[in-house]
Amino acid sequence: MSDLFRGLKESLQKKALKNIVFPEATDERIITAACRLANENLVRPILIGNVNKVNQLAESLDVNIAGCEVINPTDYGKWNEMVDAFLERRNGRVQREEAEHVLKDENYFGTMLVQMEEADGLVSGAVHSTSDTVRPALQIIKTKEGINKTSGVFVMVRNDEKYIFADCAINIAPTSEDLAEIAVESARTSKLFDVEPRVAMLSFSTKGSAKSEETERVIEAVKFAKEKQPSLIIDGEFQFDTAFVPSVAAKKAPDSEIKGDATVFVFPSLEAGNIGYKITERLGGFEAVGPILQGLNKPVNDLSRGCSTEDVYKLALITAAQAE
């Protein structure tokens, strides 16, 4: 296990246990990771599902769920309270009968546990799509004040190297305002992993070497981000080599605060971000941790449906750390 996760574990072991919801309790990757987390006294897992089915799966996998709480939405003791809270949160957009139907969905039910402070965070997506995980979070937990959109970052880890890549998961064609917001939130997220934020706004151009609508959007984003957080070290537009290689930075952007030593990389579009992190992972030998959702009032994180048990375990650690 990398230093990144050893550090997270050591930090969590010194603090009160966080309650993390796993809506997909009958998936063997989820239940195995949840039991490991409970047995290592790192989080207190809340498994959503039919109690008998969860117990049967645990027995078949020979894992101990004694440290986990199992909740079946149909037997939940605070059901009426949850329905009332959901109706209030949706502010007249749904009627009671529809709310009762919606809350039988594991992701909506689990997200409401977080909203009602019965849990501190949620991890889903091993079985469900990203939209199935993110939609309830946006409708119920919602984004922080001043944040218009959630975004998804990856922590790229190789030995003692750690970098933040954003947005690689959510926003297809971000505006300048969106990119600025992503930059500021990614800088905040970086500190969770002891990465000192030095933010590079990426493009196919460096400091006016090309001019187009796309490059102007990135230049505007830098301006907006500095207005949002004047103390943030941020610059662009940069080609990746300018942001990452000191000798190239000295030639292409000699007056920049970023001297080829960026730690947070904000991509101009989702396609660039998604392609970029996967190239870094597959060709560069980095571990890609995430996507980690940022900008929400409470932590909700999305797994890939191709995730491993280890992925579930690690994302749960990050979710618990975000809840601090």
Could you read off the pLDDT of 253-270 as tens digits, one per residue? 999 999 999 999 999 999
pLDDT in tens, the chain (324 residues): 577 788 888 888 888 889 999 999 999 999 999 999 999 999 999 999 999 999 999 999 999 999 999 999 999 999 999 999 999 999 878 899 898 999 999 999 999 999 999 999 999 988 988 888 989 999 999 999 889 999 999 999 998 899 999 999 899 999 999 999 999 999 999 998 889 999 999 999 999 899 999 999 999 999 999 999 999 999 989 999 999 999 999 999 999 999 999 999 999 999 999 999 999 999 999 988 888 999 999 999 998 888 899 989 999 999 999 988
SS3 255: coil
Among the residues of the chain, which ranges form H helices?
A: 3-13, 28-39, 51-61, 79-90, 96-102, 106-115, 130-136, 176-192, 213-228, 240-244, 246-252, 270-282, 309-322
The per-residue pLDDT for 188 is: 93
Interacting residues of 300 by C-beta distance below 8 A, sequence separation 6+: 111, 114, 121, 122, 123, 124, 133, 134, 137, 141, 293, 319
243 lies in the same domain as 263: yes
- Whether the Cβ atoms of residue 239 and residue 205 lie closer than 8 Å to each other: yes
In the chain, the number of structural domains is 2
In a domain? residue 281: yes
CA distance 185 to 21: 24
Burial letters 275-289, b for 16+ CB under 10 A, else e: ebbeebbeeeebbbb
Amino acid at 262: A
- Judgement on whether residues 219 and 271 belong to the same structural domain of the protein: yes
Do 125 and 161 fall within a single domain? no
Residue 165 is part of a domain; what is its CATH number? 3.40.50.10750
User: What's the start-to-end Cα distance of the chain, in Å?
Assistant: 22
197 and 261 share a domain? yes
The tokens 């080829």 sit on which residue? Answer: 260
**112 assigned to some structural domain:** yes
Residue 309 lies in a domain: yes
Residue span of the structural domain in which 98 resides: 3-142+299-322
Same domain, 101 and 135: yes
* CA–CA dist 265, 227 (Å, integer): 19
Residues 54 and 183 both lie in one domain: no
pLDDT digits (tens, 9 = 90+) for 4-16: 788 888 888 888 8
How many CB atoms within 10 Å of residue 146? 9
Q: What CATH number did the domain enclosing 54 receive?
A: 3.40.50.10950
